[in-house]
Structure 1
Amino acid sequence: MKISASRFAGASLAVLSLTLAVPATAQDDASQATPTTEAIPGDQAAPAQDGNAIVVYGLRRADTLQDTPAAITAFSAETIANAGIEKPADFINLTPNVNLVETQNVGNAFVIIRGITQARNSEPSVAVVVDGVQQVNPAQFNQDLFDIQQIEVLKGPQGALYGRNAIGGAIIITTKQPTDQLEGSVTVGIDNGFGWYTHGGISGPLAKGVKFRLSGLFKDTDGYIRNPYLGEDADPYKDYALRGNLLFDLGPDWNLDLRASADRTRTQGFWYNIVADVNDVSLPVRVNNAGIDNRDTNNVSAKLSYAGEGFKMTSVTSYDTVKEIITGDAFDFLPINEAFCHVTPFCFSGNNDLNQSQYLNVKAFSQELRFESPTSTPLFWMFGGYMISTDRFISTGNMLDLGKGVFPVYRTPTTNPDNPQYSFLSDQQNNFAWAAFANLGYEFSDLFRIDGSLRYDHDRRKNTTKTPEAWLAYINYIAFLNGAPQSHEGDVRRRNFSDWQPKVTATFTPTKNLTIYGGYSRGFRSGGFNQTGVGVVAASSGVVGVNDVFEAETADTLEAGFKSQWFDGLLTLNGAAFTTTSKNGYFFVYLYANSTQNLGNVPKVRLKGIELEARVVPADDFQIDASWGLTDSEIKAFPDPAAIGNEAPDISRSTINVGVQWTPDMGGGVSGLLRWDFRRTGRTWWDVYNTTVRNPVSLLDVRAGIKTDAWSLTAFASNLFNEKYNAEFSPGGFVFKARPRVYGVEAGYRF
C-alpha cells in the first residue's frame, strides 16, 4: 500500500497535534532509556540534569536525550546488560525503522535506515563512530560488542556532522572508560551451539595522571544451522578480541587518550540456497565445501584534547586494517555430484561444479582536527577538517571443484592442481578524501534555538587493474562483440566525487517536557568502482544500471518531530515524520558470467515515513516500551521503465517493537530480571523488479535472571519460537538462512 502525499501530511500533522493537545506537567527530565546515573565521558561536559537522564553526544555536543532535536534511540549500560546486547543485530532489532541484513560472510552486514540501503562492497549507509573514531570500512561493523557503556542510533542524514557515508544516519558506540579505582568484571556463558563465551574488563589507575582499561572477549560455537550433507553445522563461529585504553592527564587543560584493538574472527560463509520465492525455507544447506571465512581487524588511535579558555581543541588520529579471506561453494551451491553443468563455455565430465574465493585487504589512515566552543553558552560553534587515505585490494575468482576441497586465493591466481583457477579478477584502489566543516547554533531563548551545519567532502578515487592479462580474455571477448574498449593489466581509472552537505534544525521548547523540532539535511555517499570490465558483461547479459563505475548517492531529507513526557514521567512519547529524495541509490547485482558482485544505481527514489516511540513506567521496577516505524519507498526513475513505481530494494515496509521489563527487589540485596523483546519486521522487497517479497517476520527474545551488586545469573533465548525465515534474498535467487533459536545461560561477576 502506497502512502499518498495527502495521507502522509495528514498523519504527520496528527502526530504533532496529539502532542500539543495534552497539557504538559512540570517535572525533571526523565530517561528515554533505562535509567543511568553514570555520565559518558565525551568531548563536552554533560549538562546539568536529573540523575535519571541519558546524555547523548550524537550531535557533537552533550545534551539530554529528551532535549536533543533529532531522532535518536539510545541504549545505556544497564539496558545493554538487561537486553543482552552483544552484537550489532541486538540493538538494531530494538530500533524502529532500522534493519540489519546479515549474509554471505561475517563482513557483509548491511544497515538500512529509513530506506537508505547498503550492499556488498558498497560504501556504508551509516557513519559508525567508536570512542570518537569513525570506522573506515563496512566490513568492520559486524563485531561482537563487549564492555560497552552506551550506544546511540541517529536516524536521518548526518553528513554535515560525520561526513560522506553518513547518508542514512550515524551509530555512536562508547566503550567503558578508564576509572579512578581498580574495578573489573567477567561474564561466562554457554548456549545450544554447543558454544561458550567469556568477556570482561579491568580498569584502574596506573600512576599519577594515568588510567587504564583492558577488556577482551572469546567466543566459540559449533554453529546453529545444520548442513546434513557434511554432517556438521554450516555456521561455526570463533572470535577473539582485545581492546586497551590509556588515558593521560598531561597537566592543565591537556588530555591524551590512546587506544588499540584487535579482533580475529573464524567462521564460514557462502552457504546459500537457490529458490524463486524468498519465503521458501524448505531447503537445507547442502554445500559440499565448508570453506573458511577469516577476518582480521586492527585499530590504533590517539585523541589529544586541549580545553582552553572559551574553546576546546580535539585531534583524532587513527590507523585501521581490515583483512578478510572467504572461500566456499559457488552457484548452484549443491553437492558436486548433484550440481548441474553450468561451467561456461565448457562442461568437464565429472567436474561440473565450481567453488570460489574472495580476498579483501584494506588499510586506512585518518586524521581529524576540530575546534569548538563550550556548550554552556547561547552561541555554540565548531569548525575543523578531516582527511583519510585508504588502500584497498580485492580479488575474486572461481575454481573448478574436483572434490578435493576449496583453497584460498589471495593476490594472484592459484596454481593448485587440486583446485584449478577458472576465473580471476583483482583491483587495487587508492583513495584520498578530505573535508572541511563548520557548525553554528544559537539559543535565542529558552523557547527557541536554531542549529546550522555545513560540510564539504571531496573523495578522489583511483582504481588499478591487477588482473593478469590472460584472465581478462573473456571480458575482452565480450567487449569485442559489443564494440567496447579492451581491458588490460595496469589500466588506471580515476574519478572524483564531492558534494556539500548542509543541515539546518529549528527547535521549539514550549515547556520543559515538550521539544518540537524540524529541519532539512543532505547526505552524500561516495561512488566507486566495480571490478574491471563488469559494465560490458552486464550489458551483454541484459542487466541495466550496472557499469564499471557506480555513481555517488545523495539524500535530501525534510523532517519534523517531537519529544514529550507526561504525568510526572509515567509516559514518554516521541515521534518523527520524514520525506527523503534519494538520487543514485545502490542496488546489488551478481553477474554469473564473470562471477562478480557489483553495484548499480537507481537514479531516483522517494522515501516517506513515520516513527513513534513510547515508554510507560508505572513503577520503578517495571517498564513497557513500544515503537512503530513505517517506510514507504517508490522508484521514480530507472533505465528500465518496468521498475518505475516499484518498491526500492532491501527496504522493509514497517517495524514494530514491544518490550517489557520487570526488575523486582527480592530482598537481601538480590534483584530479579524478567525481560522480553518482540520485533516484527514488515514486508521486505529485495530487487528493483520486486520479483519476490518476504512476508513479515516476528521474533521474540527473552531473558530471566537474578543479580546482586557483585554477581548475576541469567537465562536467555533469542528467536524463542524458532521462526524460520531467510535473512536475505539476492537477485538470482540466492537466499541466506537466518539464525534459528539460540538459548543458554550466563553468569557474571563484578569487583
Structure 2
Amino acid sequence: MNTREVKRSLLGGTSIIAAMMMSPAVVAQDQGSDESGFALEEIVVTSRRKAESLQEAPAAITAFTSQKIQDAGIERPADFVALTTNLTLIETQNAGNAFVVLRGITQNRNSEPSVAVVIDGVQQVNPAQFNQELFDIQQIEVLKGPQGAIYGRNAIGGAIVITTKKPGEETEGSISAGIDNGPGYKIRGSVGGPIGDSGKLKYRLSGAFIDTDGYINNEFLGEEADPYQDLSLRGRLIWDASDRLSVDLRASMSRLKTQAFYYNIVTDVNDTSLPVRVNNAGQNDRDMNSVSMQINYDVGGGTITSTTSFDTLEEILTGDAFDFLPIEESLFYQILGVDLNQSQFLDVESWSQDLRFASDSDGPLRWMVGGYMIGTKRYISTGNLVDLGQGVTPVYREPSTNPNNPQATFLADEQDNFAWAVYADATYDLTDKLELNASIRYDEDEREQTTLTPTEYLPNVEGIPGAVSGEVRTVTFSEWQPKFTLRYLVNDDLTFYGGYSTGFRSGGFNQSGVGAIAVANGIVGVNDIFEAEVATTFELGFKSELLDSRLTLNGNVFTTKSENSYFFVFLAANSTQNLGTVPEGRLKGLELDASYRAAPGLDFNLGFGYTDSEIKEFQDSSVIGNKLPGVSEMTLNMGVQYSTEIADGVTLVTRADYQRIGKTWWDLPNSTVRNPVDLFDARISVEWGDGWAVTAWSRNLFNEKYNAEFSPGGFVFKAKPRRYGLDISKRF
C-alpha cells in the first residue's frame, strides 16, 4: 500500500472525532516514507476541526510534527514563527507583549489577538498568554486567512493550533538538560503511560525550567537587561470510560520572572547604536494557570464534544519611563528636576464552554453544529512614579504610598465581558473530485468597563470633557462570519482550491474623553471607543506532490479588505495609551512553500511570502496610500537538514535555517522603515544508543543587530543578539 492509499484508509475509515483524537505523529509515522527513504512524510492536520491530509486540505496551513519540532529546536513561539511564511512576531516591552502579524493583520498594545491560539482544544483569551514555553508538543499548525467561521471572534488573521503529547499505551518519557551563553541552564522532562492494568486510564506529566542571566547588556547597571526565569508544568489525565465515552483533563501553570521597559529613543528604527542605560532594573513577573476538560461521546451517527476551561493570568511590570536614561541625564530631570519610572498591572480571569456535534465522516455529506460561551473579568492599572533613585515600586490596585517612589499618574479600569456564538459547518462531495465546504458563525461580544481611577488621578484636560471615577460604559460588538471553500482534486498529486472567508476582532475602550483630547492635539482616528475590525479575504491556491512524493510544492494568492485595523497612539496630554483605527486598508499577497528530499536523509525547504499593504481610507488624506503599521513586506524562509549514520548506531544530524524579514513600516506617516533583517540558525546533533542525543545550537548565529519594534515617539526595543548552547537528552 502506498503513502496516499494509507492516508485515505486512515481518513476514510475513521470518524472525524476519532481521527482528531489520534496522535498526529502516529498517523504521520504510519504513513511513513517508502522503503528507499525518498518520499516525504504525509501529515494529517486538524486545524479546520476535521482530520485531513495537509496536502489535500483546501487551505494554507503550515504544520510542524513532533519530529520537526525536535529537529528545528522549537521551544518558544518565535521559533516556529521564524519558519512560517507571512508570519512575524514582534517581541517588545514585556513578556506579555508579543504581537503576532499574519498576512498583514496586526496586533498592538491593549488590542485583542490577531489570531486564534488554541491549545488542546481551548482557545486562549488574552494575547498576553501567547508568548510562553513550548514543551512536550505533538504538533503545531498555522492556519492562514480569516477563520471566524471556525474559531469566532479574534481569529481575524488565522489560527495557531497547538497539540500537546498525549499519554500512550506504554510508560515512556524523556528528559533533557542544557546550558547557554547567558549564562544559563534549562531542564525539560515528561513521563506518561497507563494507570493500572485496564488501559482505560492514562496520564502524562511534563515540565520545563529555564534560568538565564540574559543577553542584552545594561551598561549603566553593569548587568544584563533581560534575565529570564520560567517554571512551567502541565498534567493530563485521559479516561477512556468506554468505546463511546472519553474524558480528557488538562491542567497547566507557568511562573515567569524577567524585566521590562529597557527602551532607547531614536528617530530611525535602524539605529541600534545606543546601549541600554536604564537606571532601574525593574521587574516583570507573569503567573498563568489553566484547567480544562474535554468530553467526547459517540451517540451513534456522530460525536458530541464538550470543552470547558478556566484560565487566570496576572502580570506585573515595572521599570524606567521616558526617556529611559539615568536620572540626571533624563529629559524630565533637565526640565522638572525629577525623573519618572512606571508600573503596570494586569489581572485576567476567564471561563469558556464549547459544545458541538459532529457527524460521522462516512458519506458525501459531513457536518458540524455548535455553540460557544466565554466570560472574562479583567483589571488593568498603569501609572508613572517619581524616580528618586530608590528603585521601582510595583503598583497593583492602589497608587503607591512609598515616599521613596511616590505616584505621579495612575489609571485603572475593570472590564466584565461576556460573549457567545453559534456555528455550523458542512462539507459536501459534489463529485469524486469536487468538494464544497460552507461554514458560518455568529458572534456577539458584550463589554462593560468601569473606570476605577481615583478622582485626583483622572488625567482630564481643562475645557475638555473627560473621565469620571466610577463611570460605567457598555458596548456590544457582533458579526456574522461566513466561509466558503471549493476544492478540486485533479489527481492524487495535484489539488486546486479557492474560497472566501471573513473574520472579526472585537473593539474596545480607550480612556473616556480621549477622542476630544486627540482632536485638540491634532490626532485623528482615535476615539473613546475603538471599533471592531472586520477582514474579508478571497484566496486561490494549489498543492502538489512531484517526483514520486519527494517534492511538495504549494502556493496561493490572496486579497484582503480590512476595515478598522488598529494603530497605536500615546497621548502625552493625558498620559494614556490608545488604539486608533484605519477605516479601510487593503492587503494583497502570495505564498510559495516547497519541501524537497534530495536523497535519503537530505531535506531542503523553501518558503516565500509577500504582503503589499495600503491605507485606502483615513481621515487624514496625507497618509492614504501609505503602508499599514507593523506589516512586513515579505518573508523568506530557507532550510537544509542532513542526517547520516557516522558509526554503528550513531547518527549525525545537521540543520541550518535562514530567515529574511523584509521592510517593515511602523506608523501611519511611514516616518521610518526598518531595513530587511537576515537571521541564521544552526544545529548539530549526535544521536546514539537507546534515545540519547547531544545538540549544539545557535540562534542569530551571525549576531544581526536590529530593533524588534519602533513605537510612535521613537521608542525602540532591542532584538535578541546571538545565543548559543549545548543540550543533552534521553528518551525512555
Question: TM-score normalised by the shorter chain: which range applies?
Answer: over 0.9
Task: Supply the distance in 2 between the matched residues of 1:132 and 1:423 (Cα, whole angstroms).
Answer: 41
Structure 1 residue aligned with 2:188 = 199
Aligned: 1:150 with 2:120:
no
Aligned: 1:728 with 2:714:
no
Structure 2 residue aligned with 1:546 = 526
Structure 2 residue aligned with 1:711 = 692
Q: How does 1:222-621 map to 2 (within 5 A)?
A: 222-341=213-332, 348-349=336-337, 351=338, 353-472=339-458, 474-475=459-460, 478=461, 480-482=462-464, 484=465, 486-621=466-601
What is the Cα deviation at residue 200 of structure 1? Answer: 1.2
2:17, 2:358 within 8 Å by CA — same for their partners in 1? no
When the two structures are superposed, what TM-score results if normalisation uses the length of structure 1? 0.92
Moved more, 576-585 or 305-314: 305-314
SS of the residue corresponding to residue 457 of structure 1 reads strand
1:44, 1:374 within 8 Å by CA — same for their partners in 2? no
Task: Supply the distance in 2 between the matched residues of 1:615 and 1:305 (Cα, whole angstroms).
Answer: 36
Task: Supply the distance in 2 between the matched residues of 1:367 and 1:105 (Cα, whole angstroms).
Answer: 30
Task: Supply the distance in 2 between the matched residues of 1:577 and 1:719 (Cα, whole angstroms).
Answer: 30
Structure 2 residue aligned with 1:631 = 611
SS of the residue corresponding to residue 684 of structure 2 reads strand
CA deviations 1:279-304 (Å, max 9, x no partner) are 00000000001100000010000001
Moved more, 204-213 or 552-561: 204-213
Q: Which runs of 5+ in 2 are unaligned?
A: 8-15, 33-40
SS of the residue corresponding to residue 332 of structure 2 reads coil
Task: Supply the distance in 1 between the matched residues of 2:284 and 2:124 (Cα, whole angstroms).
Answer: 21
What is the Cα deviation at residue 446 of structure 1? Answer: 2.4
Structure 2 residue aligned with 1:213 = 204
Aligned: 1:55 with 2:44:
yes
Structure 1 residue aligned with 2:11 = none
CA deviations 1:587-606 (Å, max 9, x no partner) are 11122233322111011000
Please tell me the residue identity of whatever aligns with 1:324. Answer: E
Structure 2 residue aligned with 1:743 = 724
CA deviations 1:236-287 (Å, max 9, x no partner) are 0000000000000112300000000000100000000000000000000000
What is the Cα deviation at residue 40 of structure 1? Answer: 11
2:327, 2:333 within 8 Å by CA — same for their partners in 1? no
CA 463–511 in structure 1, closer or farther in 2 if over 3 Å, else same: same
Task: Supply the distance in 2 between the matched residues of 1:176 and 1:44 (Cα, whole angstroms).
Answer: 11
SS of the residue corresponding to residue 664 of structure 1 reads strand
CA deviations 1:674-722 (Å, max 9, x no partner) are 0000000000000111000000000000000111341100000000000
What is the Cα deviation at residue 648 of structure 1? Answer: 0.2
SS of the residue corresponding to residue 69 of structure 2 reads helix
Which of 170, 178, 183 lines up with 2:172 in the alignment? 183
Task: Supply the distance in 2 between the matched residues of 1:233 and 1:548 (Cα, whole angstroms).
Answer: 39
CA deviations 1:84-124 (Å, max 9, x no partner) are 00000000010000000000000000000000000011100
Structure 2 residue aligned with 1:20 = none
Structure 1 residue aligned with 2:162 = 173
CA 105–29 in structure 1, closer or farther in 2 if over 3 Å, else same: farther
Task: Supply the distance in 2 between the matched residues of 1:589 and 1:581 (Cα, whole angstroms).
Answer: 23
1:425, 1:532 within 8 Å by CA — same for their partners in 2? no
Structure 1 residue aligned with 2:12 = none
What is the Cα deviation at residue 41 of structure 1? Answer: 7.5
Task: Supply the distance in 1 between the matched residues of 2:19 and 2:252 (Cα, whole angstroms).
Answer: 20
SS of the residue corresponding to residue 456 of structure 2 reads helix
SS of the residue corresponding to residue 67 of structure 1 reads coil
Structure 1 residue aligned with 2:151 = 162
SS of the residue corresponding to residue 100 of structure 1 reads strand
Please tell me the residue identity of whatever aligns with 1:736. Answer: F
Structure 2 residue aligned with 1:19 = none
2:467, 2:511 within 8 Å by CA — same for their partners in 1? no
Task: Supply the distance in 2 between the matched residues of 1:377 and 1:335 (Cα, whole angstroms).
Answer: 70
Structure 1 residue aligned with 2:99 = 110
Task: Supply the distance in 1 between the matched residues of 2:270 and 2:42 (Cα, whole angstroms).
Answer: 43
Task: Supply the distance in 1 between the matched residues of 2:212 and 2:3 (Cα, whole angstroms).
Answer: 49
Task: Supply the distance in 2 between the matched residues of 1:532 and 1:413 (Cα, whole angstroms).
Answer: 20
1:27, 1:512 within 8 Å by CA — same for their partners in 2? no
CA 103–292 in structure 1, closer or farther in 2 if over 3 Å, else same: same
Task: Supply the distance in 1 between the matched residues of 2:364 and 2:209 (Cα, whole angstroms).
Answer: 47
CA 42–267 in structure 1, closer or farther in 2 if over 3 Å, else same: farther
Task: Supply the distance in 1 between the matched residues of 2:569 and 2:136 (Cα, whole angstroms).
Answer: 38
Please tell me the residue identity of whatever aligns with 1:224. Answer: Y
SS of the residue corresponding to residue 78 of structure 1 reads helix
SS of the residue corresponding to residue 91 of structure 1 reads helix
Task: Supply the distance in 2 between the matched residues of 1:314 and 1:663 (Cα, whole angstroms).
Answer: 41
Task: Supply the distance in 2 between the matched residues of 1:283 and 1:379 (Cα, whole angstroms).
Answer: 62
Q: Which runs of 5+ in 1 are unaligned?
A: 1-25, 32-38
2:3, 2:31 within 8 Å by CA — same for their partners in 1? no
Task: Supply the distance in 1 between the matched residues of 2:352 and 2:575 (Cα, whole angstroms).
Answer: 33
What is the Cα deviation at residue 170 of structure 1? Answer: 0.2
CA 41–276 in structure 1, closer or farther in 2 if over 3 Å, else same: farther
SS of the residue corresponding to residue 451 of structure 1 reads strand
2:89, 2:99 within 8 Å by CA — same for their partners in 1? yes
Please tell me the residue identity of whatever aligns with 1:277. Answer: D
Structure 2 residue aligned with 1:88 = 77
Q: How does 1:110-129 map to 2 (within 5 A)?
A: 110-129=99-118
Give aligned-pair identity as a percent: 58
When the two structures are superposed, what TM-score results if normalisation uses the length of structure 2? 0.95
What is the Cα deviation at residue 487 of structure 1? Answer: 2.3
Structure 2 residue aligned with 1:28 = 4
